[in-house]
Amino acid sequence: MINNVVIDTNILIRYLHKDNLAMHKKAKRLFISIGKRELVGYLTILTIHETIYILKNVYHIDKKLFIEKIKQIIRLKNIEIFNYPKATLETLLEKYESMNVDFPDIVNMNHAIENNMCVATFDKDYKNTKTKLYSL
């Protein structure tokens, strides 16, 4: 039996959001297996981004309502994040929650600051942050 599962965005959303009962039950069953440590669930940072984007922009849910839930999910022992330290992801989620900037921009800013780099962008959102910008 395969004990490692990559979790897609729609599973994560249906698990958090009980808007489709049949799908919610299936997604919840999967997370119960993860909670019981019978299964290891793998998430990518892209899945996290997509989940945030859909919950915020399609379902218009306040980010304060779902960021804490996502943080709780990534702290589960049997949840793994592909190629990303959980501590860094949690910091990024906290920054996203407190700043009025999109999640991918938070990721870029964080990488730039941590590596003493600047960001090359046309995006106006960066101007209100401490990120060093590349002069284009």
Q: Please tell me whether residue 123 binds another protein under the rule CB under 8 A.
A: yes
Of 11, 16, 106, 107, the residue at the interface with another protein (CB under 8 A) is 16
For another protein, the binding residues in 18-37 under the rule CB under 8 A are 18-20, 24, 28, 31-32, 34-37
Query: Which range binds another protein by CB under 8 A, 93-101, 114-122, 128-136?
Result: 114-122
The percent of the chain in helix, strand and coil, each rounded to the nearest 5, is 60, 10, 30
Please say which residue, 15 or 96, places its beta carbon nearer to another protein. 15
Q: CA nearest 65: which of 54, 56, 74? A: 56
User: Burial code of 69-104, b = ≥16 C-beta within 10 A, e = fewer?
Assistant: ebeebbeeebbbbeebeeeebbebbebbeeeebbbe
For another protein, the binding residues in 36-75 under the rule CB under 8 A are 36-37, 50, 53-55, 57-61, 65-66, 69, 72-75
